[in-house]
């Protein structure tokens, strides 16, 4: 299963998306991103003890949720977050070597999309 948070609306705040990582589809979206706001939903989630993999953004909140509600799962970083982290450090290493290269929007875009 995958957990991801995103800003929903100014009055509602954040929402948490629940993804079936094995079959690649979103199966639910719940308002809130804290354990307190998701507690009732997580307790009622069928077969939560059988999940083997939790892909998250590795925030402390989601790691705590994974440990408490999905104790038999392995926690891993979601691919998007890993790629973003690597690209951030790559661009920081690139800046001193070629300051003008970062002005090339096509090349920067290419590096961000490279998988």
Mean pLDDT by 10 residues, the chain (115 residues): 78 85 86 90 85 85 89 85 81 80 69 62
- pLDDT for 91 equals 79
Residues ≥6 apart with Cβ < 8 Å to 107 = 101
Distance (Å) of CA 35 to CA 38, 43, 104: 5, 11, 42
Spatial contact of 35 and 65, defined as CB atoms under 8 Å apart: yes
Neighbours of 13 (CB within 10 A): 14
- pLDDT for 40 equals 92
Neighbours of 44 (CB within 10 A): 8
- pLDDT for 13 equals 86
Q: Is the full-model pTM beyond 0.75?
A: no
- Name which of 107, 40, 21, 56 is nearest 30 in CA terms: 40
Residues ≥6 apart with Cβ < 8 Å to 48 = 42, 69, 70
């Amino acid at each position: 299963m995958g957990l991801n948070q995103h800003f929903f609306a100014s009055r509602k705040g954040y929402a948490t998306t629940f993804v079936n990582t094995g079959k690649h589809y979103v199966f639910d979206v719940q308002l809130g991103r804290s354990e307190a706001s998701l507690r009732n939903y997580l307790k009622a989630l069928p077969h939560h003890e059988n999940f083997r993999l939790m892909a998250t953004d590795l925030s402390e909140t989601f790691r705590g949720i994974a440990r408490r509600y999905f104790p038999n799962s392995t926690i891993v970083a979601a691919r998007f977050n890993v790629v973003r982290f690597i690209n951030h450090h790559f661009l920081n290493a690139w800046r001193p070597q070629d300051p003008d290269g970062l002005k090339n929007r096509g090349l920067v875009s290419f590096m961000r999309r490279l998988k």
